[in-house]
Amino acid sequence: MTETPETRLDRHGIVLPVPSAPVATYVGTVRSGDLLVVSGQLPLVDGKLFATGKLGAHVAVEVGVEAARYSMINVIAQVRAAIGDLSRVRRVVRLGGFIACVPDFTQHATVMNGASDLAVAIFGEAGRHARSTIGVPSLPLDAAVEVEGLFEIA
């Protein structure tokens, strides 16, 4: 049996949530041709933020990694809601990560690996992507991490 993104989700014990509704004047996804842009997703678990605050202050790097993973789960949930079958993802083209942190924090890449590693785990080689990760002074709702994505779809 060929593995699919859905079977990989099952193998990792991941149940995708209902995507969060936008909280302002934007939409969760936009499709343009064969590209799907996913708006930034916070690390929500059962409707509550998994991690708030700043990395390098009161949020440990390991918690930030897990927050990035939960944010990526929410990105994938948006993709599934937009296109139905995750097997239609040809490529995770790019992920963008925003890490709320103190000015001298330097482990942005380590934190964002929580999202990147999950993209590869779920989409296989098609999950390997370009990426930007930046530190920011704050995020909506005091979230510790936010992740956005760009996907090529069939």
Instruction: Give the mean pLDDT per block of 10 residues along the chain (154 residues).
Output: 92 95 92 98 97 97 98 98 97 98 98 98 98 97 98 97
**Exposure class string for 2-18: b at 16+ Cβ within 10 A, else e:** eeebeebbeeeebebee
The single residue listed with the structure tokens 């969060």 is 20
- C-alpha to C-alpha distance for 19 and 76, rounded to whole angstroms: 9
5-16+25-153 CATH: 3.30.1330.40
Domain ranges of the chain: 5-16+25-153
Contact 41, 20 (CB under 8 A): yes
Residue pLDDT, tens place only, 27-59: 999 999 999 999 999 999 999 999 999 999 999
pTM strictly above 0.95: yes
The single residue listed with the structure tokens 């924090």 is 105
Nearest to 120 by CA among 77, 85, 76, 80: 76
